[in-house]
Structure 1
Amino acid sequence: MTNHQRPLEGRVAVVTGAARGLGESIARHLAQRGARLALVGLEEEELATVAASLPTTAMHWSVDVTDDEAMGRVADEVSHSLGTPSVVVANAGIAEGGPFAASDPALWRRVIEVNLIGSAITLRAFLPSLTATHGYYLQIASLASMGASPMMSAYCASKAGVESFVHAMRAELGPQGVGVGIAYLNWMDTDMIRDADQHAVLRELRAHMPKPARKIYPVDTVAVRLVATVEQRSSAVYFPAWLRSVQVVRAALPGLVTRFARRALTRSPFTATGPLGAGGRAAAIRSDAI
């Protein structure tokens, strides 16, 4: 194949949150297209297992994306060990659910720190490389970026924040030749979502969404679409595709969500979920250790 047909061949790609779930699948599909991988996350053993299983050169770094100095060191080490990155996928993220009043303040803050501040730190650390290569940065976001959901206040705030961050960076970095994209995603078959369905508050929330919005998609199906987005350097990707239509009506969403909450969320007392999924628990443990 020509380079045009395999635009990622030989390039260095960084994926955060790569130990499991969507991050692992994105890394795997990038590697299948010839990219060399720098896997970033908290779980050393899981990252090593993923790196060893990839069909191209892959290395891993166990680091907290909210640590400015550590991420700066990782960026230097990636360039020294693998070459200058031209692709960065900011996928690291955690979630918790439940009433705001019952939430753990430290965990609520941690969700914001990992999802929003960690994404900004990731871009800051690798921006010199992306500028040098005229590279591409993809931010993993969510339907929650467009319409806030009750019982998910930290997650929604963080994803709305990364959406605004991406829009600002696209305008700022475009003249330097750096592409910036955002991925609006809905439910995927990850341990985070499987864990969410074990909690009454989030199970109830999903059950009252319109039927198309309840569907859970295989993580590999989503990853394939996202890697195509990287190859095309798209400014935005929506999966499933109908999410694009939400942009047209998003101004009406707060009122609709409020009416839904009055009908559906007053029947039972709900409790906080704690961190969702193994990745979320790992991030919460790291927060306690800092």
Structure 2
Amino acid sequence: MQRTPAGLVIAVTGAARGIGREIARELAAAGARVAVGDRDLEAAVDTARQLPGDVAAFAVDVTDTASFTAFLEAVEERWAPIDVLVNNAGVMWVGPFDEEPDSAARRQVDVNLLGVIRGVRLAAPAMRARGRGQIVTVASGAAKLAPAGEATYAATKHAVYGYLNAVRTELHGSGVQLSVVLPGVVETELAAGTATGPVRRLAPAEVAQAVLAVIRRPRFEITLPRRLNFGARMAALLPDPARFLLLRAVVPNQVLADKNARRTYENRAVSGTEGASEQ
């Protein structure tokens, strides 16, 4: 049975740019009351001004429990208890595993994994007490198929998938739904300078539409495009020689990503010295 997002209070992290901005746009157009959360409050305010309907901007750093708590409380104070939390914030460093700086590895774990854990831990108990609610996490196809050159990024997405699977077992029957969206490469700043491989890049709006679809009809997992899921299942079954042939054919190798094209993004998002954390 489908539900309408109209009137729901939905909080989105990393929503000032990229996928998060499109998610906020899609949900606002569907009539939801949307909280645009981002570490870059100025950018969040600018995004909120451009969107239709009942939309407001809030500061949130998903790596800080006090900041995340204040964000959720501020959203509830403005509207009502949060019906849906969208864990979207995420960052990515690409390159050979043995050249990755410690700071980049820590940043990805802090945002991509601990940020999701923090969001679930802070939002789910109140939802469980009310007997309803949903947490949607935008993860990555790298949770199933780990590209070369994205070792730590893929590790965080694998961990997120496992964490959500465990927590949804604990929440079974509580009225709280956990959902995860697993897109392939998306045309955003996060993917700047990366290889595409044989699978076309997704538009941010396609991921946003998948988030809207899983809110309308809650379920645990959506993979974009669907054939990524088939490829992951095949790779798990094949012996190593065939597995590596398959991965070379369908998964882009990011070891040789254009670091010059990625410099602006990685300095802002992965170094953590300025700007927002976003997909």
Q: What's the RMSD between the two structures over aligned residues?
A: 2.8
Q: How does 1:49-64 map to 2 (within 5 A)?
A: 49-64=46-61
In structure 2, the partner of 1:192 is: 190
In structure 1, the partner of 2:272 is: 286
Deviating above 4 A after TM superposition, structure 1's stretches of 4 or more consecutive aligned residues are 256-263, 269-272, 274-280
State the one-letter code of the partner of 2:268: A
In structure 1, the partner of 2:163 is: 165
Gapped runs of 5+ residues in structure 1?
198-202, 264-268
In structure 1, the partner of 2:7 is: 10
Judge conservation of contact 2:268–2:274 (CA < 8 Å) in 1.
no
Q: Which moved more, 1:245-254 or 1:118-127?
A: 245-254
Could you report, residue by residue, the CA deviation over 1:248-289 in whole angstroms, capped at 9, with x for unpaired residues?
3241479356568999xxxxx958949958665433353589
TM-score, with length taken from structure 1:
0.83
Gapped runs of 5+ residues in structure 2?
250-254
CA distance in 2, matches of 1:277, 1:160: 25
State the one-letter code of the partner of 1:155: Y
TM-score, with length taken from structure 2:
0.86
SS at match of 1:97: coil
Judge conservation of contact 2:5–2:27 (CA < 8 Å) in 1.
yes
Q: How does 1:212-251 map to 2 (within 5 A)?
A: 213=199, 215-251=200-236
Judge conservation of contact 2:187–2:202 (CA < 8 Å) in 1.
yes
CA distance in 1, matches of 2:81, 2:222: 25
| CA displacement at 1:174 relative to structure 2 | 2.1
Q: Which moved more, 1:125-134 or 1:65-74?
A: 125-134
Higher helix share: 1
Higher relative contact order (CA 8 A, sep 6+): 2
SS at match of 2:73: helix
Taking a change above 3 Å as real, the CA distance of residues 279 and 63 of structure 1, as seen in their structure-2 partners, is farther
Aligned with residue 134 of structure 1, among 129, 132, 138: 132
SS at match of 1:85: coil
Aligned with residue 17 of structure 2, among 5, 15, 20: 20
Query: In the alignment, does 2:136 pair up with 1:150?
Result: no
| CA displacement at 1:93 relative to structure 2 | 0.4
CA distance in 2, matches of 1:39, 1:277: 26
In structure 2, the partner of 1:75 is: 72
State the one-letter code of the partner of 2:213: A
Judge conservation of contact 1:97–1:272 (CA < 8 Å) in 2.
no
Taking a change above 3 Å as real, the CA distance of residues 257 and 283 of structure 1, as seen in their structure-2 partners, is farther
In structure 2, the partner of 1:98 is: 95
Percent of matched pairs sharing the same residue: 27
Taking a change above 3 Å as real, the CA distance of residues 89 and 281 of structure 1, as seen in their structure-2 partners, is farther
